[in-house]
Amino acid sequence: MQRGPFTGPTPLVPEDLYAEVLRGAARRERDRIELAPATLVTTNTYWGRLHATYWQRWTAVPQVQVSLRAAGRGRVWLMASDTNKVGRAVAYADVDGPRQVELTGAIDRFVDGGGLWLEFGTDTGELTVSGVEWTVQVPRPPRPTSITICTYNRVEDCLDTLQALLDDPVALARVALVRVVDQGSDPLESRDGFAGVTAAFGERLVYQRQPNLGGAGGFSRGLYEATAGDPADDHDVLLMDDDVLLDPEIVVRLTGFAACTSTPTIVGGQMLNLLHPAHVHITAEYAEPEKLRVGRPVPGALEEGFLLGRDERLLPVVQERRVDTEYSGWWSCLIPAPVVRAIGYPLPLFFQWDDVEFGYRAREHGFPTVSLPGAGVWHADFGWKDWDEWHRYFNQRNGLITAALRTGFDRRTVAATVVELLAQYLVAMQYGLAATLLTAVDDFLEGPQILDDGSVAAAATIRRIRAAYPETTAVPIAEAGLDPREAVVHLAGGKPSKMIMTWLKRAVLQASGRVPFRSGMVPAGEAHWWHVALFERAIVTDMAETGVRIRTRDRERLRELATRGVRTVRRLYTEGPDAARAWKAAEPRLTARETWARLYGEA
């Protein structure tokens, strides 16, 4: 169910995420490591250890066997830890010449935390280790697994991901087929390299073109096709983004774990940050739909955790304690076919919250989700993406839809959340973002019919609406025409203690124009609403730090959006519960196979 690689898929990835040289010197290859004399190497790392606590909690597997090839002179230990990171030796083997090593460890003392890993040591001799495999007895014959990659105008990224799979025959052997759902205007098949990839995959690659229905439409196509016939012929589906840096080892680990769970379980890979590859985004998440909050760290989870770091006892950060997630993002996530058969298909939300809603719906039906440590993909850092983008509409609208379907829809909480967001956007001169929010609320109140086209029209409409607001577009700083006398950097002070009073003061300043600063630059990390509201014109660094957004006080827009906001929030409070009931009544239709068949042009 996993192998023991010693390096990553590229030198851009730190080797110590796989194995760490505690003393001495070692030469690494992907499947092999050579230890010099007086060297100690550990695999108590993100990719190197078996996260046994997840295996004991979610499977009934009693033990694991580790096998490897060794040559030279040294010793191999199978190590274990408990919840508090206290290590112990489970088994060992001495090496004096070439031999096959097999060690067995019980998965029996890890309910709350702990793991298993290998250590290799030498004294006066040299030692070579290769071919590390961790194996278990599966409780039942596993279902076939297919991979579905949804792509939209990321041709080179998608080809790289496909090539990474081809370069690892062992991982590729775990999947029955790879399906690429291409929704872009720049199709994959237009590239010369696609022909070579297609030939290498042969019949195991299925390439499908379809209209752009967003990530929900692309990923749902994989689930739709994998459950098209008799349940005996179903495939589990491993959903995967097109723009990830892929270590194919994740395919082995997700399929291996899913084959052993006691009940059908959604198994998610963790998101590692592409710009900062030693960091994990969030290791276990929950959402608060009524507050439009997603991606909240479960207590005890790592948030932007540094995987090469040490805790206060100088012990490695290895996710020792088990932390159970409530859903998993679909950057790399395995969904068993029985889950789809039992709960239906994802909602046609285009994208944003589709994975969250599906995960919570699965939980309601008794199907858990596991965010599996040691199985990750490198994905563009969320912290370097600016939220003032067109897709914010889907985040807000789909959050409301999820609240209607998966919560009691407390209208006081929902309305208060919209009021808070709108108030902050307006004083921070984010007029386009305010219009985006109000459009999302209006469309939610319109009811389930807004999803009849898979949200294709909504995607075009929100772009057109936002185009009228200049601050929604980032411009290169060299093209911003900044006067150095008016572009002095202003840092924010401390967070105010009385937020409502602070907002009232800022609102008066913005409405009257009596702001302290006529113009100035605000770094991305300082762009809090209470700070930006102090400017007549704020030049705010985009979160990606590739350019700036220029926010300018517009009294007429402020009045117009505030007036509209009052009407919209009043409607949300009075009509929201009825809208929520309409969404709930439409759920069987929205999640039915027939809905996707119609959107795919097959009905």
Task: Find the mean pLDDT for residues 132-153.
Answer: 95
* Three-state DSSP state, 307: coil
CA pair distance 92, 172, nearest whole angstrom? 32
- Quick: pLDDT tens for 252-293: 999 999 999 999 999 999 999 999 999 999 999 999 999 999
CA pair distance 10, 324, nearest whole angstrom? 30
Task: Find the mean pLDDT for residues 298-319.
Answer: 94
* Three-state DSSP state, 376: strand
Q: Is the model's pLDDT at 124 over the cut of 90?
A: yes
pLDDT at 544: 86
Task: Find the mean pLDDT for residues 474-490.
Answer: 88
pLDDT at 385: 83
Q: Is the model's pLDDT at 185 over the cut of 90?
A: yes
Tell me how many degrees the CA angle 47-51-52 measures, rounded to the nearest 5. 150
CA pair distance 148, 486, nearest whole angstrom? 50
- Quick: pLDDT tens for 309-355: 998 888 999 999 999 999 999 999 999 999 999 999 999 999 999 99
Task: Find the mean pLDDT for residues 422-446.
Answer: 97
- Quick: pLDDT tens for 23-37: 999 999 999 999 999
**Residue 483 confidence class, pLDDT cut points 50, 70, 90:** confident
Note every long-range contact of 312-317, with CB atoms under 8 Å and residues 24 or more positions apart, other chains counting.
Answer: 313/85, 315/85, 316/20, 316/44, 316/45
**Lowest-pLDDT choice from 79-88, 106-115, 330-339, 589-598:** 79-88
If you search the block for the tokens 């469309």, which residue do you land on?
A: 443
Task: List the alpha helices (DSSP H) in 303-429.
Answer: 337-343, 354-364, 392-406, 411-427
The length of the chain is 603
CA pair distance 37, 34, nearest whole angstrom? 10
**Residue 476 confidence class, pLDDT cut points 50, 70, 90:** very high
> What is the tally of helices (H) and strands (E) in the chain?
16, 24
Q: Is the model's pLDDT at 603 over the cut of 80?
A: no
Closest CA to 54 of 440, 314, 391, 320: 320
Whole-prediction pTM: 0.94
Task: Find the mean pLDDT for residues 466-481.
Answer: 92
Task: Find the mean pLDDT for residues 28-52.
Answer: 98
Q: Is the model's pLDDT at 453 over the cut of 80?
A: yes
State how far the alpha carbon of 533 is from the alpha carbons of 431, 518, 577, in Å: 12, 11, 34
| Single-letter code of the amino acid located at 356 | V
Token pair recorded at residue 77: 């230990």
Sheet architecture: strand order including 548-552: 517-522, 535-541, 548-552
Q: Which residues pair with 118 in a beta bridge?
A: 78
If you search the block for the tokens 């290859």, which residue do you land on?
A: 29
Q: Which residues pair with 489 in a beta bridge?
A: 521
pLDDT at 84: 86
Q: What is the DSSP string of 550-581?
A: EEE--HHHHHHHHHHHHHHHHHHHHHHHHHHH
Task: Find the mean pLDDT for residues 214-237.
Answer: 96
Closest CA to 446 of 541, 579, 283, 327: 579
Task: Find the mean pLDDT for residues 461-475.
Answer: 95
> With 0-12 CB in 10 A as exposed, 13-18 as middle and 19+ as buried, what is 429?
buried
Sequence-distant (6+) residues with CB within 8 A of 279 are 272, 273, 304, 305, 306, 307
pLDDT at 421: 97
- Quick: pLDDT tens for 362-401: 999 999 999 999 999 999 888 888 888 999 999 999 999 9
Contact 591, 354 (CB under 8 A): no
Helix (H) or strand (E) holding 69: strand 63-81
Mean of pLDDT over the chain = 95
pLDDT at 154: 93
Q: Is the model's pLDDT at 519 over the cut of 90?
A: yes
